[in-house]
A and B are shown apart, each in its own frame.
Chain A
Amino acid sequence: MNKLPSYDVLKQLSQQAKTRHLASLFNENPDRFSGFHAKLPGLVLDYSKQNITKEEREALLNLAEEAKLSEWIEKLFKGEKVNHTEGRAAGHTALRDLQNPKPEVSKEWEKMEHLVDRIHTKQLRGFSGKAITDVVNIGVGGSDLGPLMVTHALKGVRSPLAPELHFVSTLDGKQLQRLLKTLSAETTLFIIASKSFTTIDTLSLAKTAREWIESHSPSKAGTLQHFIGVSTNTEMMNDWGLLPDHQLLFWDWVGGRFSLWSTIGLSIALQQGIEGFKSFLQGANEMDLHFRNTPFKDNTAVLLGLISVWNINFLDLAGQAILPYDSRLKYLASYLEQLVMESNGKHVNRAGENVNYRTCPILWGEVGPNAQHAFYQLMHQGTERVMADFILYAQAHGNTERHTFHHNLNIANCLAQSRALMIGQKGDDPHKDYPGGQVSNTLLFEKLDAKHLGMLIALYEHSVFVQSVIWDINPFDQWGVELGKKIALEILQKIEAKDASDLDSSTQGILQTIWDTQNEN
């Protein structure tokens, strides 16, 4: 990035930007909104509360051209192996191309529709012949966060035929054990969602679930009615014993954190019906077309990405808060933590050289009205300068007087916070002084439904991709998570052998204390 001609221009411009107060931009240009927002049907991105001028924006757009962003977008969409460290394409946009679907994708849609139909018509049966009423998604990372976030957000608009959905992910097993106490084995179905079908987190939970079903089911055939597998690995699903009708496929060109668009989205389809799932894909597809075909200056995803680059690399901001003003988006921040930080948390460029500039910010977040009573203090008066994304919906989710009241209250709070962070307030008492100058985007969507949620997620995916192109890093691998998995297996062996030698003294000390505690009890 820092070899591109516009980099130096931006560095130069940032000197002056760092000294000005955000609020001054509004004083200079009272109609700032009109020049600093972008939109497509269903979404307005207001970035007028960013510390950026037209000139600086121009230089950023030049930076994008110099980084060959257009070419990279085409490579992404055309299925080139943009994930070069794993020799794979990143085909998430193909998963939602409803007009020109790949044949293998259509085939799995059909299979998924058939399963959804069997469950919705109460014709998928457990060992006793009773219909399935509860579905537990066992998965971790991309096989958990996406479906969990989406199904939580869309619970209010679920199909009346939808089964009860549950999610378990943590390998300590407590989440699963607690859930099983509330369920009936006869009527519970498990989705084992694992890209590789080797993930120990998921497979260990699946085994516990299987043993639970086996303790009730009179036969193996009965037990197998209760499991559906979603994976790229047919062989492992067969080895596990999954029935052919109960296996859904996706492909190695689908990254885990992008897999909610694939058959990993089965739980979304179960909740929304196949039509609802398709409108989720449709929303993302509309964002794809916008991203691919809109000039950068009007392109919401490109602008969102470039603004991050401006903030991180030129204004030296290191934190990004995600602040949805809608409690239905409770899990959005967790979801984006994975999408953003697993993608761009890299320190070498595509050629494998160390980069000498900062890449991914630390992202965190919470439902806005709750966060107001928590970490907003830091944003208003702390020493950290951060950037924030406010997410707001124009339509209330009901039409009674109380709905309208709460909705207006919510809008007022969202707008008040972004304004207060921007403008600040001088106070004679230093404890009541608000420096302001904290930058933010506001993403205003028409309403929260499957389609607009698809659009929101695709927007962030593309924004992440834009940043990766500027930084010249591969956003589609995640080698960083491998080392811990490998060491965990080594330590597990040590624990089973009750032998902590050869380990560092910290690990030895902790293990020894654990063993002493266990022996005492």
Chain B
Amino acid sequence: MKINVFGNSVSAMVCAGCLAETGNHITLVGKRPNEIAEPGLVELLDSQLAAGRLTISDNFNPQAECHIMALGPEDCKNAKRIATDLAAAALKDSTLIVRSNFNIGLAKEIAQTAQLEFAVNPDFTADGHAIQRFTRPDRIIIGTNSEKVRQQIRQIFAPFNRNQDVIINMTPASAELTKYGTNAMLATRISLMNELASISEVIDADIEEVRLGLGADKRIGRAYLYPGTGFGGDHFTRDLERIKSMLPQAHQKGGHSLLQAVIDINENQKELFFRKLWQHFDCNLKGKTVAIWGLGYKPHTTSIESSASVALIKAFIHQGCNLQLHDPFALDTAKKWVHKHFSNVQQQQVSFHTEMYDASKQADALCVLTEYKAFWSPDLTLLKENMQTPIILDGRNLYNKYWIEDNHFSYYGVGR
């Protein structure tokens, strides 16, 4: 089949590469970035370009039978422009598949502009495992009112749907809500766990024990039950805000929206360690040195968007603390962010360290925010020597707290 794939995202390239590999003639309408972090993607694209089944171009193939939109979620303007172009030049009986995570309702609008029958086929892949999740999906959602489009997508995805039929049919609106609802559900579980963690601290329970107990219930399951210093990343936060904006007006403000509560709990959680240290030092943090390990919102990412580190850096700087930051991937991003958001004087309060123990020198506290493997079993003797005040704040509950305390550190976890 001749297919156009629109977009510069990892999602677009994975989609184009995988569909070319199964014999389709793909025109990827977009730019291939110079550096691609996604494992296996460079090889996939190279092999398909060499085989001649994949073309990368600025212009779409007017003979294509199907057009797949895999633009970034904020790229709505571009999507509308493409739709206008398709209306002018695409085959009248070709179809449109929207995989982008646009605002709810936008897919329908775009299809009307393009004057094509359409489906919403949400992309559930996660960075780092994108090719595997595309070729071995646990669900393929086809949201369409058109039988023709339904059959066409079934055919396109047939190579990835052999082991077990994972296709679920629904309307376009249901498909959009399924995508948003997935993130909303996961976010809600996390915020619930964070709320239980704060209760846990009050009644002297250990949320890690509670988590194991809860996860053993099959109705609940074990995934996404980890309390912490709040989830970050642009996707989660943006999706929640967008879905919240679809709520009836009365629910958007005030305490009537569950999703608003989920967002509020999460934002509150990001400053948890600020509050712990604020209370530890009796409301005076001026001149204290705080080390932070892990700045990205998750391991192996350069993004610090909406992560706890951002909230904590702001809070500590405003109280006159010195900060010593370490992250294996996100240090440069953090440097740029600090440079952009703080005055020269405030920037003097921050130093960046490529070596994790360097960041702990003369520190009054160490906050561990991201679960990098290298952080799991630190050299406590060295840390003790380095630090001025031995306090460890464990944002992912990585450590056995008794081990830390036996080594004469003060230990603060989340909910324990």
| A interface residues, Cβ below 8 angstroms from B | 118, 121, 123, 125, 127-130, 218-219, 221-222, 224-225
Contacts of A221 in B (CB 8 A): 282-284
Is B318 a contact of A128 with CB atoms below 8 Å?
no
Contact string against A for B residues 260-277, beta-carbon threshold 8 Å, 1 for contact and 0 otherwise: 000000001001001111
Contacts of B284 in A (CB 8 A): 221
Majority secondary structure, A binding face:
loop
Indicate whether A123 sits within 8 Å of B314 (C-beta atoms), given known contacts A219-B283, A221-B282, A222-B283: yes
**CA gap between A412 and B284 in the complex, in Å:** 59
Indicate whether A129 sits within 8 Å of B278 (C-beta atoms), given known contacts A219-B283, A221-B283, A222-B283: yes
Is A125 a contact of B314 with CB atoms below 8 Å?
no
Q: Among residues 306 to 336 in chain B, which have CB atoms less than 8 Å away from a CB atom of chain A? A: 314-315, 318-319
Is B275 a contact of A118 with CB atoms below 8 Å?
no
The reply to whether the CB of B57 lies closer than 8 angstroms to some CB of chain A is no
Q: Name the residue among A125, A222, A224, A225 with the largest chain B CB count within 10 angstroms.
A: A125
Is A129 a contact of B275 with CB atoms below 8 Å?
yes
14 contacts between A and B (CB under 8 A): A123-B314, A123-B315, A127-B279, A127-B283, A128-B279, A129-B274, A129-B278, A129-B279, A218-B279, A219-B282, A221-B283, A221-B284, A224-B283, A225-B283
Contacts of A125 in B (CB 8 A): 278, 283, 319
**CA gap between A295 and B275 in the complex, in Å:** 61
Contacts of A123 in B (CB 8 A): 314-315, 318-319
Q: Among residues 243 to 300 in chain B, which have CB atoms less than 8 Å away from a CB atom of chain A? A: 268, 271, 274-279, 282-284
**CA gap between A219 and B281 in the complex, in Å:** 11
Closest A residue to B311 by CB, please name it: A122
**CA gap between A125 and B282 in the complex, in Å:** 12
Contacts of B278 in A (CB 8 A): 125, 128-129
Q: How far is the CB of A133 from chain B (nearest CB, A)?
A: 11
Q: Which 6 A-B pairs have the closest CB atoms?
A: A129-B275, A129-B278, A123-B318, A221-B283, A221-B282, A222-B283
Q: How far is the CB of A280 from chain B (nearest CB, A)?
A: 27
Q: How far is the CB of A277 from chain B (nearest CB, A)?
A: 22
**CA gap between A440 and B277 in the complex, in Å:** 63
Contacts of A118 in B (CB 8 A): 318
Q: How far is the CB of A115 from chain B (nearest CB, A)?
A: 13
**CA gap between A125 and B319 in the complex, in Å:** 9
Contacts of A222 in B (CB 8 A): 279, 282-283
Closest B residue to A218 by CB, please name it: B279
Q: How far is the CB of B205 from chain A (nearest CB, A)?
A: 20
**CA gap between A304 and B373 in the complex, in Å:** 77
Q: How far is the CB of B306 from chain A (nearest CB, A)?
A: 15
Contacts of A218 in B (CB 8 A): 279
Indicate whether A129 sits within 8 Å of B271 (C-beta atoms), given known contacts A121-B318, A123-B318: yes
Q: How far is the CB of B99 from chain A (nearest CB, A)?
A: 35
Closest B residue to A186 by CB, please name it: B275
A-B contact count (CB 8 A): 36
**CA gap between A219 and B284 in the complex, in Å:** 12
Q: How far is the CB of B321 from chain A (nearest CB, A)?
A: 12
Q: How far is the CB of A225 from chain B (nearest CB, A)?
A: 6
**CA gap between A336 and B42 in the complex, in Å:** 75
Closest A residue to B284 by CB, please name it: A221
Q: How far is the CB of B331 from chain A (nearest CB, A)?
A: 24
**CA gap between A376 and B277 in the complex, in Å:** 62
Closest A residue to B318 by CB, please name it: A123
Q: How far is the CB of A127 from chain B (nearest CB, A)?
A: 7
Closest A residue to B277 by CB, please name it: A129
Contacts of B315 in A (CB 8 A): 123
Closest B residue to A220 by CB, please name it: B282
**CA gap between A224 and B279 in the complex, in Å:** 14
Contacts of B279 in A (CB 8 A): 127-129, 218, 222
Closest B residue to A128 by CB, please name it: B275
Give 18 new A-B contacts, CB below 8 A, not counting A125-B278, A129-B278.
A118-B318, A121-B314, A123-B314, A123-B318, A123-B319, A125-B319, A127-B279, A127-B283, A129-B271, A129-B276, A129-B279, A130-B275, A219-B282, A219-B283, A221-B283, A221-B284, A222-B282, A222-B283
Q: How far is the CB of B104 from chain A (nearest CB, A)?
A: 25
Contacts of A129 in B (CB 8 A): 271, 274-279
Q: How far is the CB of B387 from chain A (nearest CB, A)?
A: 21
Closest A residue to B271 by CB, please name it: A129
**CA gap between A494 and B319 in the complex, in Å:** 49
**CA gap between A121 and B319 in the complex, in Å:** 12
Closest A residue to B283 by CB, please name it: A221
**CA gap between A115 and B279 in the complex, in Å:** 21
**CA gap between A462 and B382 in the complex, in Å:** 72
Q: How far is the CB of A227 from chain B (nearest CB, A)?
A: 13
Q: How far is the CB of A301 from chain B (nearest CB, A)?
A: 43
Contacts of B274 in A (CB 8 A): 129
**CA gap between A373 and B315 in the complex, in Å:** 53
Q: How far is the CB of A438 from chain B (nearest CB, A)?
A: 45
Contacts of A224 in B (CB 8 A): 283
**CA gap between A222 and B281 in the complex, in Å:** 10
Q: Name the residue among B274, B275, B314, B319 with the largest chain A CB count within 10 angstroms.
A: B275
Contacts of B276 in A (CB 8 A): 129
Closest A residue to B280 by CB, please name it: A129
**CA gap between A455 and B277 in the complex, in Å:** 47
Q: Name the residue among B271, B276, B283, B284 with the largest chain A CB count within 10 angstroms.
A: B283
Q: How far is the CB of B317 from chain A (nearest CB, A)?
A: 9
Closest B residue to A130 by CB, please name it: B275
**CA gap between A127 and B274 in the complex, in Å:** 12
Closest B residue to A222 by CB, please name it: B283
**CA gap between A219 and B277 in the complex, in Å:** 14
Closest B residue to A127 by CB, please name it: B283
Q: How far is the CB of A395 from chain B (nearest CB, A)?
A: 27
**CA gap between A129 and B269 in the complex, in Å:** 12
Q: How far is the CB of A228 from chain B (nearest CB, A)?
A: 15
**CA gap between A385 and B279 in the complex, in Å:** 65
**CA gap between A224 and B315 in the complex, in Å:** 19
**CA gap between A29 and B261 in the complex, in Å:** 67
**CA gap between A479 and B279 in the complex, in Å:** 48
**CA gap between A130 and B51 in the complex, in Å:** 59
**CA gap between A224 and B282 in the complex, in Å:** 11
Q: How far is the CB of B62 from chain A (nearest CB, A)?
A: 46
**CA gap between A221 and B280 in the complex, in Å:** 12
Q: How far is the CB of B226 from chain A (nearest CB, A)?
A: 23
**CA gap between A125 and B318 in the complex, in Å:** 10
Contacts of A128 in B (CB 8 A): 275, 278-279
Closest B residue to A217 by CB, please name it: B283
Contacts of B268 in A (CB 8 A): 130
Contacts of A127 in B (CB 8 A): 279, 283
**CA gap between A118 and B314 in the complex, in Å:** 12
**CA gap between A505 and B279 in the complex, in Å:** 57
**CA gap between A456 and B76 in the complex, in Å:** 48
**CA gap between A127 and B314 in the complex, in Å:** 18
Q: How far is the CB of A22 from chain B (nearest CB, A)?
A: 51
Contacts of B283 in A (CB 8 A): 125, 127, 219, 221-222, 224-225
Closest A residue to B281 by CB, please name it: A221
Contacts of B275 in A (CB 8 A): 128-130
**CA gap between A244 and B274 in the complex, in Å:** 23
Q: How far is the CB of B145 from chain A (nearest CB, A)?
A: 37
**CA gap between A221 and B286 in the complex, in Å:** 14
Q: How far is the CB of A500 from chain B (nearest CB, A)?
A: 47
Contacts of A130 in B (CB 8 A): 268, 271, 275
Contacts of A121 in B (CB 8 A): 314, 318
Q: How far is the CB of B2 from chain A (nearest CB, A)?
A: 50
**CA gap between A22 and B151 in the complex, in Å:** 87
Q: Among residues 145 to 196 in chain B, which have CB atoms less than 8 Å away from a CB atom of chain A? A: none
**CA gap between A129 and B321 in the complex, in Å:** 14
**CA gap between A153 and B314 in the complex, in Å:** 34
Closest B residue to A219 by CB, please name it: B282
**CA gap between A498 and B271 in the complex, in Å:** 53
Contacts of B271 in A (CB 8 A): 129-130
**CA gap between A127 and B276 in the complex, in Å:** 11
Q: How far is the CB of B254 from chain A (nearest CB, A)?
A: 13
Contacts of B277 in A (CB 8 A): 129
